[in-house]
Structure 1
Amino acid sequence: MSFPFDLILFDLDGTLIETAPEIADAVNDTLSECGRTGVSQQQVNDWIGHGTRELLIQALAFTDELSANEVRHSNSFPAIEAVFTRHYQRRCGTRSHLYPHVREALTALRGAGVKLVVMTNKEGRYTQTVLDAHQMAPLFDRVISGDTFPVKKPNPMGIAECMAQFGVTHQRCLFVGDSSIDVATARAGGIAVWAMPYGYNMGEPIEACSPDRVIADFSALTTLLNG
């Protein structure tokens, strides 16, 4: 049986790499420096998905008892975001790790000629830092971050751009993610979607999003590759 996909797009946080612990560290470093109370690991896990900037906004909204919109438009937010940038750049790679079989699967897929893309809502400067911290960047043909285009997931622009770039049809394209955002992105882009059960789906079981498949880990991709 030949491998059914020529292009696979992957979410980053909660799919390829367990990053939540160091994100929580950076958030709490920031809150502490700015004179605020820290937040829990579970809260950070549940805020992951819309980009690191939005996560920071959610943390500040919680600690300051404000709406996210009030935080987003506050005069103090740019300075706090700058503090977070410093802390997160320092924390990247310190407590994150690849999930089981990720590197092996990506290496095998790339060797078989499958085009591989990261498509994340994390801002580009953080995406690159995380990939570099784990020596992952060379495994991908393209990296799409939350600020690559004017829109981000669940808008499917990134999917369309990659299919056009690599000359791949909808039927030969797969999205692998861990959240309802990823499932919605794939559905909007008209492609298949497989989901990991171990990631950050805002506290909800991934099965509730009805992906095409839920796979335990990345070995499912190499098993399929080997027929």
Structure 2
Amino acid sequence: MSNCTPKPESPLIIGHRGAMGYETENTLASIEKAMELGVDMIEIDVFRIQTGEIAVFHDERVERLANSGGRIEEYNFFDMKKLILDGGHRIPILQEVLKLVDHRVPLNIELKGTGTAGPVQHIVSYYTAQRGWAPDQFIISSFNWDELRAYRALDPEARIAVLVEGDPLEALEVAAELKAEAINPHYTQVNAEKVARIHQEGFKVYTWTVNDPADFQNLKAMGVDGVFSNFPDQMR
């Protein structure tokens, strides 16, 4: 009879904006790299642009990464596709990412812009009905809790994660309201007690953005369920 304590299960390794430590974030190259590195899930960010498409991009403005300026939401599809990002990449739309991933790995779609819930849910439902994706291969997250409420109203079964800047315990109430799967705090905002409390309330804990293997080991010891990383291979 063994008296060894079981080791905590290893957290899911989630590629942050693909594998942005290696390729320009949220591009097809970054997403392809994340899959090559064997991630458990990929996280991307989305905005709805002027012509209605869902652009895969993180910032409200394009200057940091692109050869032009302005708000991403004010671009039309044609002009957005002319933007050249660092490394010579283009901004993909959500359908291009889905086609590339081809249900090989689950996808965490973070709703950055307002008005994203409806179009994203429409695309997700099409890809689950017609393109071989399973509903549980998508998880929808946002710091904009009203956007999550809108998504929940459209899809009572969707996997939802509540993003939170500060103390994750402050998100417990909205997580319960949304019947969320997880609360996603910054890794510096958690400790073993908070993780245990969130688990007691029935939610998982996915922490962002973890790039130091020592931090990863600490979080693993705390019992977190997943980590977002720019260097997912270094978290193994």
Measured against the shorter chain, the TM-score band is 0.3 to 0.5
More helix per residue: 1
TM-score, length of structure 2 as denominator length: 0.34
Q: Which has the higher contact order (CA 8 A, sep 6+)?
A: 1
TM-score, length of structure 1 as denominator length: 0.35
More strand per residue: 2
